[in-house]
Chains A and B, each alone.
Chain A
């Protein structure tokens, strides 16, 4: 290798750049996991020893387990509704020819562009208005919270499913129709299997979005239904020990495992790129 060669430097800068990006993404996670084993109560550097006790403490705090179950339920329901509706919308947007198609496409990606707190506040005000108008409570109910989380899952689904649907050439669907398949059969037997990877990826990302959401939930959640992120924030109000780092470390491992398992069935890297 010749250090006077331009390619040497280009390769070096390229590798360095990629390495830096990975470091920025991964370092906080590594730091959280490391911190969760520090012995002292107020995290300081260097650690004066390592311990499991924050994990034990997290286990003893029953609100974390409750929050975890609540988050799981909420994310699962929101994902099922959001991915179904989002897939239908993506099919209409990619295959349909109707006025206002581009406008609708922009609208459905909207929630991605709006900060969570703004979205949450907007929804809160909206729900209260409905409440006042027709005397039907939505704020602080489970359906209200689910509706809000569905909003989080839609943009991901529309984007990922649209992308994979663009890879399904219309002529393949036409071939099925030519062989005698009616429109719904074409969708079930050809279109859906061909965009399966996109739908699975959409479900995964939707689930994670909903599971880890704090801002929307904080504004709309009802008593006794607190999700894990909300419970973690509550805990922070009176204690600042590494217990939260332990809970976060568990989440990181679970989500990582979920992604790896999904990747075994559909190649996520192919869908997301």
Chain B
């Protein structure tokens, strides 16, 4: 039995379809990230789980029980809101204790559990403060403690890190993940930040315009995307359009590019991650894709080469070569040859709408 199960979930607002046909089964203790661009329906989905939005169709099951029509207070979910939504007129301790009070937990046990929860988020000593007297990061941890302390069946987080500065964000990310694993909480996490999703989640659900485009582990989604949207939303990629010549070769203009299979004559898009492209200086050599060096961007540990080829611009990312390496000395205009293995070239259906927008783009 799944801990949380969404079945054909749909929500419309007059003419707008905010969420459509969302299916998901979550195991106990799993952390799933809902990932997608702003407006794709992540928050609406989360709010349907919490009970603030009623589905137009489909079902929400928590621990096997259909709660689709149940009011929020009867659902046993613990939610961390985007703006934290702390009670400004209560102390930190009373904020954290509110859920326990609603569950009629006695005063003595309440005090113990509040103290325990505050220790868990490293806020012991601040119990008597008001939310307004805390920093953003501390408020965030109060919100976490308040939702955790009731030991909810499902833990829900809506972009919990978006109000924190970059340094704190990385820190809290690790902290939330550690807490979630320690307590074995079934967690649904909403974010538009792919890095956040990739580093924290057991599984990702990538959404686009209300629909799920692909569900899977971070590795599955990054290595074997089902469609161009997922490929270009997660990480950077090169996209080539053309016709399959024979299994393993895609004809794009004058170039024949390595790809993983394909049926001859098929119009397809080929996706290659920039770190899978090998770059060989010089004009000599057979096969692969000839080109000239454009912009070279030094990123410290990595270097980006923008190569102009007959099949269009190609981005190559590699560990920065050692001083004296032939690659290191490549300057704009130098001839090079690009190549990759057949397995590294993923053939996908050419769905027009996302492709060019994200081509080589960094969605962040």
Contacts and interface: CB of A to CB of B under 8 A. Distances in A.
B58 interface: no
Given A174-B52, A174-B72, A179 B85 contact: no
B130 to A, nearest CB: 12
B87 A177 contact: no
A204 B85 CA distance: 30
B222 interface: no
Contacts of A190: 87
Nearest to B94: A189
A176 B102 CA distance: 9
B103 A178 contact: no
Interface string A163-188: 00000010110111111111001000
Interface stretch (B74-82, B236-244, B335-343, B353-361): B74-82
B8 interface: no
A78 B147 CA distance: 43
Nearest to B77: A178
Interface size class for chain B? 20 to 34
B150 A180 contact: yes
Interface in A141-157: none
Contacts of A177: 51-52, 71-73
Contacts of A172: 85-88
A95 B71 CA distance: 17
B288 interface: no
Nearest to B74: A180
B102 A181 contact: yes
B85 A185 contact: no
B103 A180 contact: yes
Q: From DSSP, what is the main secondary structure of chain B's interface residues?
A: loop
A82 B116 CA distance: 46
Contacts of A180: 73, 99, 102-103, 150
Given A194-B88, A194-B89, A179 B83 contact: no
Contacts of B98: 176, 179, 181, 189
Interface in B89-115: 89, 98-99, 102-103
B146 interface: yes
Central interface residue in A169, A180, A193, by most chain B CB within 10 Å: A180
A175 B102 CA distance: 12
Contacts of A189: 98
Given A180-B102, A182-B73, A175 B150 contact: no
Contacts of A175: 79, 81, 85-87, 146
A218 to B, nearest CB: 43
Contacts, number: 63
B50 interface: yes
Nearest to B158: A171
Contacts of B71: 177, 182
A169 B85 contact: yes
Contacts of A182: 71, 73
A180 B85 CA distance: 15
Interface string B250-293: 00000000000000000000000000000000000000000000
Given A176-B87, A180-B99, A180-B102, A171 B73 contact: no
A97 B82 CA distance: 24
Interface in B225-251: none
B146 A179 contact: yes
A189 B89 CA distance: 10
Nearest to A182: B73
B143 to A, nearest CB: 8
B202 to A, nearest CB: 24
A193 B90 CA distance: 10
Contacts of A185: 102
A179 B99 contact: yes
Contacts of B83: 169, 171
A189 B102 CA distance: 11
Contact of B150 (A169, A179, A196): A179
A178 B50 contact: yes
Contact of A174 (B85, B88, B103): B85
Nearest to A196: B89
Contacts of B72: 174, 177-178
B303 to A, nearest CB: 45
Contact of B73 (A181, A193, A196): A181
Nearest to B146: A179
A182 B51 CA distance: 13
Contacts of B85: 169, 171-172, 174-175
Contacts of B150: 179-180
Contacts of A176: 87, 98
Contacts of B102: 179-181, 185
A178 B79 contact: yes
Nearest to A174: B52
A193 B89 contact: yes
10 contacts: A169-B83, A172-B87, A174-B81, A174-B85, A175-B146, A177-B52, A178-B79, A179-B78, A179-B150, A181-B73
Given A175-B81, A181-B98, 12 more contacts: A171-B82, A174-B50, A174-B52, A175-B79, A175-B85, A175-B86, A177-B71, A177-B73, A178-B72, A179-B78, A182-B73, A196-B89
Q: Considering the complex of A and B, which 5 residue pairs feature the smallest CB-CB distances, nearest first?
A: A180-B102, A179-B99, A171-B85, A175-B85, A177-B72
